[in-house]
């Protein structure tokens, strides 16, 4: 029959053994972490981005490497998924991208009008740099790629239409609009948009949606010059 | 109750009731946001509500553990508390720090580190506070007439909890290091040293309520906490699968956290068999219900539901989804909330001298809170599993998935209402007991409860 002192020895012995094993593994892990997190790429900009992440408790809604609060999207591979131009535009006014849906806090530090265009752009670049760095951490395969995606492609989908779009369109516009069956479904599909509107109208609409249709949920993206020409030209080809 | 200074515990428990209520309110704010009603977004956005909800949980549980220690330690050491005034100062300062932190969360004054959001300046105050608490407990044991196993396990659990808070205060520029040591606090607390505290409270309650010999109960206490550490320490690895740590943690974390349910199963079997063997019936049946309920529900919530998503092959899909919320809610409820409510149910009649054992409110509080919590766990489970399949496995858009889960959030909130009704009954009953009174010369508080418990104690001796 087990005695109390034997039970005590089991407790103390087992605990000591496991604690030692845990500490040894910890030492090895601490030696590995700099390599696995590519500490050499951790620039001042990345560190500033981390500070912004931390100061505003972003993981109180989002998850990063799966850690956080499950109220907002997982961000480990966000740069790969969305691209930098989309993120840069989104952060300026998150609600504009998903009108009437679940809200993200609109942070002044990212808003050109609240803190000045230069500071705001710098802050946005900092967090994007941070996410880019996080995206390269060796996370043992997390997040896993979806494995229940249908293999076949519907006949009316033509990915080539999206493939020839300017980068800005693929990353920013496609967040809400689709062409050839690819892209978001927040705004209307843009297939055949050139048949419905002429180039002048599209140019006015893209550069200042509120002037054309007050109250519209289409965000003002601040597109100018060549970028605007490129987009209008692409829309004209659809 | 035999010592005057044990009365201090009452105020710690009263603080528990207050903070628990606030915690639930912030839970509702999040529940409604998940249903799509986020009208408070501008004032209390989700990340604020979430930080308040989890931090209030931690503070009320610490307050409950401290209250339990202030009650148990004098009785085990057979003397009054050393410097009881310090205990009062300590309670007030704990509440001040906790409330300051929670208010700060509404004004972006925090650190974005899950569960450890308390800003660094306040961390130092927490440390001073806990040191004060440990000093009072240590000196009481030191000067006491006897040093029981229950008291020692409780003390070392509390001491280790204090020490393990420190790794969470190291500043790292690299988020991977930060995350690694954050789990030293969070995991080694809830799946390690807090279980020592819980085990000690369980053993104290079983000794008091079943009348079984202390030596037998304490022997099994060692076995249970032995299994806890055997599985729990290396089980920390299940937080290191996908956060940048090396791949061997998949193996280590997987194997050892798969053993974690055994510790909880052991605890449940131990509590149930002791209660069965006990034979003699302490009049406070409701405290025994909470005690046994705690042992069973901690196995279900922490053991079984933890195991459900701890293996790396499952966790790669469930990590960072609402499946975690499912496990988290029932684990904290079963293991820690219920042991504190068991303790409160036991001490109230002892402290106030009133025997409201047969109160319908107490019994209904037990059943409605538990059924409500199980319902909430079910709702989180449905949401989590649906999220895993739609978002993670089929690659659907995050927001679309969340919107399709809103209907289940209605179920969550309804179950939460039932649970809240139970909590209201519990608190109503707590208030009905009134304030604590000094113990009489013969031991035990004056009045019916004291004499009933006294009779129980003397019948045990014969």
A-chain CB neighbours of B45 within 8 Å are 61, 103, 105
Confidence class of residue A7 from pLDDT cuts 50, 70 and 90? Answer: very high
Is B17 part of a structural domain of the chain? yes
pLDDT of residue A237: 87
pLDDT of residue A144: 94
Distance (Å, rounded) from C-alpha B252 to C-alpha A25? Answer: 10
Write the CB contacts of A14 (distance below 8 Å, at least 6 apart in sequence).
Answer: B226, B227, B229, B230
pLDDT of residue B229: 95
CB B420 within 8 A of CB B24: yes
Confidence class of residue A156 from pLDDT cuts 50, 70 and 90? Answer: low
Across all residues in chain A, what is the average pLDDT?
90
CA triple A61-A147-B240, angle to 5 deg = 50
| Token representation of residue A225 | 């010059």
Is B226 part of a structural domain of the chain? no
Is B237 part of a structural domain of the chain? no
The SS3 assignment for A68 reads strand
Tell me which residues of chain B, numbers 36 to 65, contact chain A at a CB-CB cutoff of 8 Å. Answer: 36, 38, 41, 45-48, 50-51
Treating both helix axes as pointing N-terminal to C-terminal, what angle do B194-210 and B338-352 enclose, rounded to 10 degrees? 40
Top mean-pLDDT range of A144-148, A174-178, A211-215: A144-148
Distance (Å, rounded) from C-alpha B366 to C-alpha B364? Answer: 5
Of A55, A67, A146, the CB nearest to B320: A67
pLDDT of residue A198: 87
Closest CA to B156 of B191, B190, B197: B197
B-chain CB neighbours of A42 within 8 Å are 173-174
Is B195 part of a structural domain of the chain? no
Distance (Å, rounded) from C-alpha B382 to C-alpha A89? Answer: 35
Where do we find the tokens 């179920």?
A: B411
| Lowest mean pLDDT across A16-30, A157-171, B393-407 | A157-171
Closest CA to A212 of A227, A223, A222, A201: A201
| Token representation of residue B189 | 């607390």
* Beta-carbon separation of A102 and B241 below 8 A: no
- Using only C-alpha atoms, what is the Rg of chain B? 22
Question: How far A200 CA sits from the closest chain B CA (Å)?
Answer: 34
Across all residues in chain B, what is the average pLDDT?
93
Q: What is the dihedral of CA A206, A210, A215, A217, to 10 degrees?
A: 30
A-chain CB neighbours of B229 within 8 Å are 11, 14-15, 18-19
Write the CB contacts of B213 (distance below 8 Å, at least 6 apart in sequence).
Answer: none
**Closest chain B CA to residue A32:** B246
- Of the two residues B378 and A227, the one the predictor is more confident about is B378
Is B113 part of a structural domain of the chain? yes
Distance (Å, rounded) from C-alpha A97 to C-alpha B370? Answer: 41
| Token representation of residue A86 | 């989309």
CB-based contact, B170 to chain A, within 8 Å: no
| Residue B462 to residues B214, B445, B459, Cα–Cα distance (Å) | 16, 21, 5
Question: How far B275 CA sits from the closest chain A CA (Å)?
Answer: 20
Distance (Å, rounded) from C-alpha B462 to C-alpha B457? Answer: 9
- Sign of CA pseudo-dihedral B304, B332, A104, B176: negative
* Beta-carbon separation of A50 and B225 below 8 A: no
Provide the domain limits for residue B29.
Answer: 1-121
pLDDT of residue B446: 45
The SS3 assignment for A183 reads strand
**Domains of chain A, first to last:** 36-135 (1.10.760.10), 159-236 (1.10.760.10)
CB A54 within 8 A of CB B266: no
Q: How many CB atoms lie within 10 A of CB B172?
A: 14
* Beta-carbon separation of A57 and B111 below 8 A: yes
CB B344 within 8 A of CB B13: yes
Mean pLDDT of A151-165: 69
Is B97 part of a structural domain of the chain? yes
Is B441 part of a structural domain of the chain? no
Closest CA to B322 of B408, B388, B401: B388
pLDDT at A155 over 60: no
CB A65 within 8 A of CB B243: yes
pLDDT of residue A227: 86
Question: How far B442 CA sits from the closest chain A CA (Å)?
Answer: 32
A-chain CB neighbours of B174 within 8 Å are 33-34, 37, 39, 42
User: In chain B, how many domains are there?
Assistant: 1
Is B382 part of a structural domain of the chain? no
Distance (Å, rounded) from C-alpha A153 to C-alpha A182? Answer: 11
Closest CA to B55 of B4, B9, B94: B94
| Residue B169 to residues B65, B108, B132, B260, Cα–Cα distance (Å) | 22, 19, 19, 27
CB-based contact, B329 to chain A, within 8 Å: no
pLDDT per 10-residue tile (average), chain B, 462 residues: 94 98 98 96 96 97 97 96 96 96 96 92 94 97 95 96 94 95 95 94 95 92 94 96 97 96 93 86 91 96 96 96 97 97 96 86 96 98 97 92 96 98 97 91 48 47 36
Distance (Å, rounded) from C-alpha B177 to C-alpha A30? Answer: 8
pLDDT of residue B455: 47
pLDDT at A184 over 90: no
CA A56 to chain centre: 16
- Numbers of helices and strands, H then E, in chain A: 13, 4
* Beta-carbon separation of B233 and A63 below 8 A: no
pLDDT of residue B120: 92
Write the CB contacts of B191 (distance below 8 Å, at least 6 apart in sequence).
Answer: B228, B232, B235, B236, B260, B302
| Residue B197 to residues B321, B412, B436, Cα–Cα distance (Å) | 30, 30, 24
**Closest chain B CA to residue A150:** B394
A-chain CB neighbours of B248 within 8 Å are 25
pLDDT (tens digit per residue) in B88-108: 999 999 999 999 999 999 999
Of A18, A63, A148, the CB nearest to B233: A18
Length of chain B: 462
Q: What is the DSSP string of A77-139?
A: THHHHH-HHHHHHHHH-HHHHSTTSS-----GGG-HHHH-HHHHHHHHHHHHHHHHHHHTS--
Q: How many CB atoms lie within 10 A of CB B313?
A: 8
The SS3 assignment for B447 reads coil
CB-based contact, B392 to chain A, within 8 Å: yes
Q: What ranges in B279-310 are assigned the alpha helix state H?
A: 285-298, 305-308
């Amino acid at each position: 029959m087990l005695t109390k002192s034997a039970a005590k020895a089991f407790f103390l012995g087992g605990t000591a053994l496991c604690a030692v094993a845990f500490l040894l593994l910890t030492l090895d892990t601490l030696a590995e972490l700099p390599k696995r997190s590519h500490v050499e790429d951790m620039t001042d900009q990345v560190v500033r981005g981390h500070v912004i992440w931390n100061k505003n408790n972003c993981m109180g809604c989002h998850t990063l490497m799966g850690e956080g609060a499950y109220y907002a999207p997982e961000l480990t591979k966000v740069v790969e998924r969305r691209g930098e131009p989309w993120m840069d535009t989104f952060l300026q006014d998150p609600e504009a991208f998903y009108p009437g849906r679940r809200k993200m806090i609109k942070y002044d530090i990212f808003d050109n009008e609240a803190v000045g265009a230069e500071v705001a752009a710098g802050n946005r670049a900092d967090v994007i740099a941070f996410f880019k760095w996080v995206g390269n951490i060796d996370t043992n395969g997390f997040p896993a790629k979806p494995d229940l995606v249908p293999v076949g492609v519907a006949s009316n989908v033509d990915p080539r239409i999206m493939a020839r779009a300017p980068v800005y369109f693929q990353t920013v516009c496609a967040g809400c609009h689709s062409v050839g069956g690819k892209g978001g479904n927040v705004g209307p599909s843009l297939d055949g948009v050139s048949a419905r509107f002429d180039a002048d109208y599209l140019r006015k609409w893209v550069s200042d949606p509120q002037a054309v249709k007050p109250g519209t949920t289409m965000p003002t993206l601040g597109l100018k010059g060549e970028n605007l020409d490129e987009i209008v030209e692409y829309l004209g080809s659809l | 109750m035999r010592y005057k200074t044990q009365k201090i515990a009452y105020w710690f428990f009263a603080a528990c009731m207050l903070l628990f209520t606030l915690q639930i309110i912030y839970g509702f704010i999040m529940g409604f946001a998940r249903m799509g009603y986020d009208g408070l977004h501008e004032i209390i956005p989700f990340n604020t509500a979430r930080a308040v909800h989890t931090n209030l949980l931690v503070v009320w549980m610490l307050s409950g553990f401290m209250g339990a220690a202030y009650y148990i330690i004098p009785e085990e050491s057979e003397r009054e508390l050393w410097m009881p005034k310090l205990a009062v100062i300590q309670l007030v300062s704990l509440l001040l720090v906790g409330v300051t932190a929670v208010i700060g969360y509404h004004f972006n004054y925090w650190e974005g580190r899950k569960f450890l959001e308390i800003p660094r300046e306040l961390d130092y105050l927490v440390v001073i506070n806990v040191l004060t608490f440990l000093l009072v407990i240590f000196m009481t044991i030191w000067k006491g007439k006897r040093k029981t196993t229950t008291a020692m396990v409780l003390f070392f659990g509390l001491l280790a909890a204090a020490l393990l808070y420190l790794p969470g205060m190291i500043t790292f520029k690299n988020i991977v290091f930060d995350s690694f040591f954050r789990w030293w606090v969070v995991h080694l607390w809830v799946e390690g040293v807090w279980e020592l505290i819980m085990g000690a409270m369980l053993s104290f309650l079983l000794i008091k309520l079943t009348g079984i010999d202390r030596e037998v109960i304490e022997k099994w206490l060692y076995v249970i906490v032995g299994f806890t550490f055997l599985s729990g320490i290396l089980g920390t690895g299940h937080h290191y699968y996908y956060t940048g740590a090396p791949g061997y943690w998949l193996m280590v974390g997987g194997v050892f956290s798969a053993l974690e349910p055994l510790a909880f199963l052991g605890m449940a079997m131990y509590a149930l068999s002791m209660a069965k063997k006990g034979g003699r019936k302490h009049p406070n049946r409701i405290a025994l219900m909470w005690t046994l309920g705690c042992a069973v529900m901690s196995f279900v919530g922490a053991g079984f539901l933890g195991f459900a998503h701890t293996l790396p092959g499952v966790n790669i899909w469930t990590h960072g989804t609402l499946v975690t919320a499912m496990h988290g809610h029932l684990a904290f409820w079963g293991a820690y909330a219920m042991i504190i409510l068991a303790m409160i149910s036991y001490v109230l009649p002892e402290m106030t001298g009133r025997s409201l054992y047969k109160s319908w409110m107490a019994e209904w509080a037990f059943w409605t809170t538990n059924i409500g919590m199980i319902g909430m766990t079910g709702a989180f489970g449905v949401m989590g599993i649906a999220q895993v399949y739609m978002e993670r496995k089929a690659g659907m858009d995050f927001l679309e998935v969340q919107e399709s889960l809103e209907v289940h959030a209605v179920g969550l909130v309804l179950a939460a209402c039932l649970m809240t009704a139970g909590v209201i009954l519990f608190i109503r009953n707590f208030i009905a007991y009134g304030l604590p009174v000094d113990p009489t010369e013969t031991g035990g508080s004056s009045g019916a409860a004291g004499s009933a418990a006294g009779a129980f104690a003397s019948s045990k001796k014969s």
